[in-house]
Amino acid sequence: MMHNLLLADDDMDDCLFFQEAMEEISTTMQLTTVNDGVQLMNFLSSNKNQLPDIIFLDLNMPRKSGMECLTEIKLDNCLKQLPIVIISTSMDTDVINKLYLDGAHYYIRKPGDFALLKQVIQEATTRLSDNKTQQPERSNFIIQP
């Protein structure tokens, strides 16, 4: 089964790294990337009939942050069921708690290591294909390599 993933990240190197990791994990995943929150929301509103299976969302983006996008997505009846995996360099507990309360499905700290990146992408996609729209317990929210 084909999985359509969407990555919203303004860092071109991170996008390339993510794409390469994903290609090594599976040939049944297709990745679309957008480079800021405004592009993400425009993409989602113009593709409501063909939404991604999972959104990987960077928090720190220009024009509209990942936090703002998460809030908008969860307030939209057509989009609120989309599984969202936050991917960020921060491990700020207050921010992570807010993201959980705002409806994100998982939180990944961006690993600098390629093998670890593959591991966390695979873990997130596996967990979400097993239990698509259900938000996990708070104790399982952070995916660690």
Residue 14: how many other CB atoms lie within 10 Å: 17
Rounded Cα distance between 18 and 113, Å, is 11
Give pLDDT tens digits for 23-80: 998 878 899 999 999 999 999 999 988 899 999 999 999 899 999 999 999 999 999 9
Structural domains of the chain sorted by starting position, each given as residue range(s) with its CATH number in brackets: 3-143 (3.40.50.2300)
**Dihedral (Cα; 26, 136, 17, 114), 10-degree rounding:** -80
Whole-model pTM: value is 0.94
Angle between helices 12-25 and 114-130 (to 10 degrees): 60
